[in-house]
A = this chain, B = another copy of it.
Amino acid sequence: MFLERIDSPADLKQLSIHECEQLAAEIRTALLTKASAAGGHLASNLGMVEASIALHYVFDSPKDKIVFDVSHQCYTHKILTGRRDAFLCPEKYGTANGYTNPDESEHDLFRVGHTATSISLACGLAKARDINGGKENVIAVIGDGSMSGGEAFEGLDYGGSDINSNLIVLFNDNQMSIAEDHGGIYQNLAKLRETEGAAEENFFRAFGFDYLFVKNGNSVADVVAALRQVKDIDHPVVVHICTTKGKGYAYAESHKESTHYVRPFDLATGREKNAFTGERYDRLIRDHLLEKMKQDPKIVTMIAAVPDSLNFTQEYRLAGGKQFVDVGIAEEHAIAMAAGLAKNGCKPVFATLATFYQRTYDQISQELCINNAPATLIVANASVYAVNDMTHIGIFDIPMMSNIPNLVYLAPTNRQEYFAMLDWSIDQTEHPVALRAPRNGIFEAKGSVDTDYSRLNVYKTVTRGEKVAILALGDFFQMGEELAQAVKDAYGFIPTLINPRYITGLDETLLQELKKDHTLVITLEDGVLDGGWGQKIASFYGPSDVKVLNYGLKKEFLDRYDINKVLERNHLRVDLIMQDIRGLV
């Protein structure tokens, strides 16, 4: 086994090209074994095995600087740079995360998890090298959909003219985003593949880059030959390699989308182990939307290459027909396009993950909110209960979005409320509306829910009690219910319990009225406290005698955290809150 001998790229360089091809097979086996047991990004990593070997065979990392876009395709790179055991030894699977991570290795330059940034990062590295008088190669590794993000185009545009020195973009063209590729450039890429790089129109040359085509990006020999040609080159060049997503695993080659990211699965059948078969909001909302789309041809459901924000897998995308739009990884475009759709009488519903809305702050502010465009935004994975990779955590959306004027940001607390809010939002024509998709399980409404949310910032009093008011937003409403019960049990009076529903404003009438017979207000929110919703309540009561305790998360970049520890650290547990309020009740 060659793999056991590779402790660093230096060891790799001792192998012959032929031995490298064997090494590729060993790595592929390791990737498959780990993914089937522990999950992760699979298909694109299978496609990038040979190219990653070639990169380290030709270049001298960390002197030469390799930046992985999104960095979900970096597994082979990790294996070759001293982190083999994290892929070979089940007990060490947890020692490497799924993205490049400077804390793990000097070969990882940046923590990266969002798309389309690698060329710009590489431009910075290259510019600094030129200022430093260095000679190292700078390589951006991009592809698997991420070439459609605006930042990548900006990077190409800058690099193609203003970096007059070594800058190598290795473009992995596997003809896929997470779902199918989208965008005009993919037609150009198809022509380049057909003509083996000779087509007249060349997307990369149009940006000022030199260009090299590699037909078989799954051949170590071919990629090595190409990279040797561009090593130490004195100008920007794109090396366009064609790879097969899922390469070497038949199931993945024929199920590219579902094997993009996998949970533990059976290698023989490709079938997910312990697949979740219960109800999930993404699927429920998808079915609900599809039904509504049939009834109302003006509804246009939009995603930006992340089908799982709404679980719009291929069959459902087809069912959506012309009322379904996947813009590819281009969130800024998506929001502006939604504003255009709304202006011309359609009812756009866009969904993506909270972390990816970060790309659209300006578009939400300018195109949607300044223009009061009645678009609906579904914000998925906005919760401490959601994805816990540092680059993908979804606890910052409330400060980011809720302080933009004109936006109505709603936090449903149960199934019926979520659907009612969505229905209202789609049909109203006054406001841009965002919905914070619940992530703490599916709860049923205990009574009736409102169908009209057009009277903004009217909170719902679930129980009108006394002394203590618990304002429990969205996902933490159920914690609020438990807290109310605990207060009653401990102190013998019934506290007030409120479902605020509106993240973007205060119900000042209600808050004022509470002053009469309440001395303590407790707020709960599933996101960072700083800049969030509870602090507005604290500010409201600032000049009064009412005491306020805000509960939520500390402002920090968490990473692969234990949810219970995080909740405990932030006192987000009924027993801990009960301790805090002693002396205040």
Interface residues of A (CB under 8 A from B): 65, 67, 102, 109-114, 117, 120-132, 134, 148-162, 182-188, 200-203, 205-209, 297-298, 300, 322-323, 325, 327-328, 330, 332-333, 336-346, 348, 358-359, 361-363, 365-367, 369-371, 390-391, 396, 399-400, 402-406, 528-532, 534-536, 538-539, 541-544, 547-550, 555-557, 584
Can you give 20 contacting A-B residue pairs, CB < 8 Å? A114-B362, A117-B367, A124-B338, A124-B339, A127-B340, A127-B346, A128-B340, A131-B346, A132-B298, A154-B332, A154-B333, A157-B182, A157-B184, A157-B185, A157-B328, A159-B184, A185-B207, A370-B557, A403-B530, A542-B549
* Contact pick for A149, options B154, B341, B538, CB 8 Å: B154
| Most B-side CB within 10 Å, residue of A132, A336, A403 | A336
Q: Are A340 and B125 in contact (CB under 8 A)?
A: yes
Which residue from B113, B114, B184, B208 sits with its C-beta under 8 Å from A188? B208
Q: Do residues A120 and B366 form an inter-chain contact, with CB atoms below 8 A? A: no
With CB as the reference atom, state the residue of chain B lying closest to A541.
B542
Cα distance, A102 to B188, chains bound together (Å): 38
Contacts of A132 in B (CB 8 A): 298, 344-346
Residues of chain B within 8 A (CB-CB) of A330 are: 154, 157-158
**Chain B residue nearest to A336 in the complex (CB):** B120
Minimum CB–CB distance from A469 to chain B (whole Å) comes to 13
Task: Pick the residue among B154, B339, B404 that contacts A121 (CB under 8 A).
Answer: B339
The reply to whether B333 and A130 form a contact with Cβ atoms under 8 Å apart is no
* Complex partner residue of A366 from B114, B183, B332, B555, CB under 8 angstroms: B114
Q: Which residues on B sit within 8 Å (CB–CB) of A370?
A: 111, 390-391, 557
Q: A184-B209, A370-B390, A370-B557 are in contact. Are A131 and B340 (CB under 8 A)?
A: no
CB distance from A298 to the nearest CB of B (A): 7
Q: Collect the chain B residues with CB atoms within 8 Å of residue A406's CB.
A: 557
Contact in complex: B542, A336 (CB < 8 Å)? no
Alpha-carbon distance A555/B456, docked complex (angstroms): 15
Could you tell me the dominant secondary structure of chain A's interface residues?
Answer: helix
**A544 CB contacts on chain B under 8 angstroms:** 547
* Residues of chain B within 8 A of A348, CB atoms compared: 124
Contact of A120 among B153, B297, B340 (CB under 8 A): B340
Chain B CB count within 10 A is highest, among A121, A154, A538, for A154
Question: Is B300 a contact partner of A131 (Cβ separation < 8 A)?
Answer: yes
How far is A185 from B162 in the complex, measured between Cα atoms in Å? 11
Q: Is the CB of A155 within 8 A of B333?
A: yes
Q: Which 4 A-B pairs have the closest CB atoms?
A: A124-B340, A150-B150, A160-B184, A184-B208
Query: Which B residues are in CB contact (< 8 Å) with A102?
Result: 371
Contacts of A298 on B, CB cut-off 8 Å?
131-132
How far does the alpha carbon of A207 sit from the alpha carbon of B189 in the complex, in Å? 10
> B538 near A131 (CB under 8 angstroms)?
no
* Residues in chain B near residue A300, CB distance under 8 A: 127-128, 131
Contacts A161-B184, A367-B117, A534-B539 hold; do A206 and B203 have CB atoms under 8 A apart? yes
Chain B CB within 10 Å — which of A120, A297, A365, A548 has the most? A120
Chain B residue at smallest Cβ distance from A67: B340
User: In the bound complex, what is the Cα–Cα distance between A132 and B344 (angstroms)?
Assistant: 9
* Complex alpha-carbon distance, A149 and B542, angstroms: 43
Is A328's CB under 8 angstroms from B117's CB? no
Do the beta carbons of A150 and B154 come within 8 Å of each other? yes
The complex places the Cα of A67 from the Cα of B343 at a distance, in Å, of: 12
